[in-house]
Amino acid sequence: MKTQSSNIIKYLLYGTLLMIIIMQYTGHPLKTPTTPGGILSLEFADTKTKIQSIYDAWQATNIRGRTNISQARINTYWDFVFIFFYSALFFYWNWVSAQNPVNNKYLGKAAALLAIIAGTLDVIENLGMLKSLNGNISDATADMTSLCATIKFSLLGISVLILMVQRFRIWRSRSGLA
């Protein structure tokens, strides 16, 4: 069971790392003077005015011969694959770590659930961004997208922090430092 769990975690980790590379590559042209955070600028744009400013700035053709609006769509579509990998990774890794007797199984399972909720919020956020990238820009979409992004990053941060504590406790018990 341990080897199977380790292999699943390893494949999910490799998938997550590969997607980070792809997301960096497809997102690089989106970093402009108006949007130094790239796609994150759109994720956290909490008003129609901010989104419109980003939309206008991304109308220009980039070094790849397409508009940054098109590039942002590509980046967002790849993000759906990334969501699968990172949410599955942190769900499964927290779930497996919670099974170790040195850890609080309820806290670990809660952290696993937080990863799934974060992934779900990321999907909603992406749908809002795609709506805006298609020119349907509104304050409601801006609010929803930025709120989902804020909560997503918060929940994912909590999930990762709990995982780090769980992994430390497992390491400490195995090394005889407990």
Domain boundaries defined on the chain: 2-174
Given a contact cutoff of 8 angstroms between Cβ atoms, the answer to whether 73 and 7 are in contact is no
Longest CA span, the chain: 59
Beta strand spans in 61-152 (E): none
Q: Please tell me the pTM assigned to this model.
A: 0.92
Residue 23: the pLDDT is: 98
d(CA 155, CA 169): 21
User: 41 vs 27, 58, 165, CA distance in Å?
Assistant: 11, 12, 31
The stretches in the chain having pLDDT less than 70 are 1, 178
Residue 178: the pLDDT is: 60
Residue 175: the pLDDT is: 85
Q: Give the number of C-alpha atoms closer than 13 A to the C-alpha of residue 150, restricted to the C-beta side.
A: 9
Residue 10: the pLDDT is: 97
Residue 1: the pLDDT is: 52
Q: What is the CA radius of gyration of the chain?
A: 19
Residue 97 tokens, joined: 């770590």
Nearest to 87 by CA among 127, 114, 116, 126: 116
Q: What is the mean pLDDT of the chain?
A: 94
